[in-house]
Amino acid sequence: MSENRSNDPRHERAGDPDGARGGDHGGNLSRRSLLQAGGIGVAGLAAASAMAVADAQTVLPAQTDVQVSPPVKTASLPGPNPIDLGKVEGNKVSFTSLQDASEGESSPPSALLPPDRRVGFAIVGLGHLAVQQILPGFGSSRKAKPVALVSGRADKARVIASQYGIKPEAVYDYESFDRIAQNPDVKVVYIVLPNAMHKEFVIRAAKAGKHVLCEKPMATSSSDCREMIDACDKAGVKLMIAYRCQYEPHHRYLMDSVRKKDFGEMRLVRAVNGQDVGAIDQWRLRKALSGGGSLPDVGIYCLNAARYITGEEPVEVFAQISTPPNDPRFKEVEESVSFQLRFPSGVLAELSCSYGVHRAQTLEVHTAEAHYLMEHAFPYKGQRLQISHKIGKSDADVVPNIEQQDQFALEMDHFATCVMENRVPRTPGEEGLQDQMLVEAIYQSARTGQAVKLKPVSGTDVTRGPMPENGAG
């Protein structure tokens, strides 16, 4: 999903310091001498303040001696141990853990590339998602940097360019977008526009010789998705769809545990993604721009999760749609969708999405021996995974220690790695095409009231590239 609620005609996914009045005067004891005398810390400052007030009325006895400790010479201190110094391997600095193994340990970050070696990204569309999530995500990125902006609002683009150190000449509007071909700093174009505009700008970016990262859903029709894939193939550039959850650590932990059958065979997948939309004039509620309502916007998270957790493609879908008849928000698009998927292994998925409910974002997997529950499964942050299972004769709820990471930085770093090392992205255009074909089947089932049978697809992860390393490298 891309973001935009601007009015842009092209719809952007737009106290003095210590000693300041002298040190000790006669018998008075200043805050500085207090610090020197006793080495007091924060807890002693309150006492020091009280003593300062009493100084005006109280004089210390003339024979009072204040013992000042001599300064410690650095040369007399023991030298550092190797565990404190760390080690350098290539361009990476690493450290041995200071905790016992029982405390657990977070994965070390991948090497931080210097600015001149990072992959340059151009952001197309400066709406909510781009300005509030994607651009700040570069602050956590280890391999990518923003080098260009494309916007229909020159004033907005100038402000944002100045904030991120982007050259004025690297700011384009939609009409002059094709000049990006002459900018060697731009290696990747990130499309963050309304869904119906994805096709045009993916194809234009490919013709400019730039690799493309495109927000989900990939497009508003499967035929458009195919044209986008073909255009990138002909231009010899990479195309990746921004399925950020596939790079998020909690989702990866869940998928890995289920696929390894840590707690037996998978049986059911359940997911809900809903929110109560406002702003009746936003582009998401206009079918010509969005392609649909809650299904392609938030429902696609549930659909994609069921697919990447199982690794399979469904052989049958059945769906129902419910839309309030008198709600002006839903004159063109649906409010709520409930749909079921049946997979070749026998796994069933029960998935729901809505534009008319209070925030609900959960993902569950039921196996023969455990129940996985991920709360806040689909937002930009806040994921929490709990695994309920038996240990001996007792029930246990285990919460794995999983580090929170910026999802946008992870996906951009993965694509940067693919560009630098000529790898196939984990979520290429084919992944977006498969979701779009399933969205069309879901709409068909809801329209006809009948289940839609799908052509079986053999193998696992057939629409995905290799799994990235931890840290989405």
9, pLDDT greater than 60: no
The verdict on 251 and 369 lying in the same domain is: yes
47, pLDDT greater than 60: no
Residue 189 β-bridge partners:
122, 212
Is 253 marked active-site?
no
Q: Does 280 reside within a domain?
A: yes
Report in angstroms the alpha-carbon separations of 101 from 104, 105, 106, 401.
Answer: 6, 7, 11, 13
Q: Strands, DSSP E only, in 96-243?
A: 119-124, 144-150, 171-172, 188-191, 211-214, 239-241
Taking the C-alpha atoms of residue 302 and residue 293, their distance in angstroms, rounded to an integer, is: 14
Of 69-83, 253-267, 420-434, 444-458, the poorest mean pLDDT is in 69-83
At 290, is the pLDDT very low, low, confident or very high (cuts 50, 70, 90)? very high
pLDDT value, residue 77: 81
Mean pLDDT for the chain? 87
Q: Does 305 reside within a domain?
A: yes
More confident: 2 or 177: 177
Mean pLDDT, residues 263-269 taken together: 98
14, pLDDT greater than 50: no
The verdict on 121 and 199 lying in the same domain is: yes
142, pLDDT greater than 90: yes
The verdict on 262 and 221 lying in the same domain is: no
Angle between helices 198-207 and 222-235 (to 10 degrees): 10
| CA contacts within 13 A on the Cβ side of 207 | 11
Q: Does 320 reside within a domain?
A: yes
Nearest to 406 by CA among 282, 239, 299, 249: 249
The verdict on 441 and 296 lying in the same domain is: yes
The verdict on 237 and 359 lying in the same domain is: no
- At 192, list the tokens: 């963050």
pLDDT value, residue 109: 65
The verdict on 335 and 374 lying in the same domain is: yes
The verdict on 274 and 383 lying in the same domain is: yes
Nearest to 122 by CA among 132, 134, 112: 134
The verdict on 296 and 438 lying in the same domain is: yes
Mean pLDDT, residues 162-166 taken together: 98
Instruction: Report the SS3 class of residue 49.
Output: helix
Mean pLDDT, residues 425-448 taken together: 98
pLDDT value, residue 72: 64
Taking the C-alpha atoms of residue 330 and residue 320, their distance in angstroms, rounded to an integer, is: 16
Active-site residue, from 145, 187, 216, 238 = 216
Mean pLDDT, residues 17-27 taken together: 39
Q: Does 234 reside within a domain?
A: yes
The verdict on 219 and 311 lying in the same domain is: no
Active-site residue, from 172, 190, 247, 301 = 301
**Domain range enclosing 314:** 245-405+427-453
Taking the C-alpha atoms of residue 409 and residue 133, their distance in angstroms, rounded to an integer, is: 10
Place of tokens 């630098």: 420
391, pLDDT greater than 80: yes
Write down the H helix ranges in 62-115. 82-85
Mean pLDDT, residues 197-218 taken together: 98
The verdict on 286 and 303 lying in the same domain is: yes
pTM assigned to the model: 0.81
Residues 6 or more apart whose Cβ sits within 8 Å of residue 123: 130, 134, 135, 146, 148, 149, 150, 190, 192
Is 301 marked active-site?
yes
Q: Does 434 reside within a domain?
A: yes
pLDDT value, residue 225: 98
At 397, is the pLDDT very low, low, confident or very high (cuts 50, 70, 90)? very high
Our count of domains for the chain comes to: 3
Asked if 434 and 442 touch (Cβ cutoff 8 Å), the reply is no
The verdict on 302 and 316 lying in the same domain is: yes
Q: Does 421 reside within a domain?
A: no
At 236, is the pLDDT very low, low, confident or very high (cuts 50, 70, 90)? very high
Asked if 169 and 182 touch (Cβ cutoff 8 Å), the reply is no
pLDDT value, residue 68: 65
Query: Tens digits of per-residue pLDDT, 300-353?
Result: 999 999 999 999 999 999 999 999 999 999 999 999 999 999 999 999 999 999
The verdict on 251 and 235 lying in the same domain is: no
Q: Provide the residue count of the chain.
A: 473
More confident: 76 or 290: 290
38, pLDDT greater than 90: no
Of 35-39, 262-266, 352-356, 422-426, the poorest mean pLDDT is in 35-39
Q: Does 230 reside within a domain?
A: yes
Mean pLDDT, residues 6-26 taken together: 42
Q: Does 368 reside within a domain?
A: yes
User: Domain containing 442 — which CATH number?
Assistant: 3.30.360.10
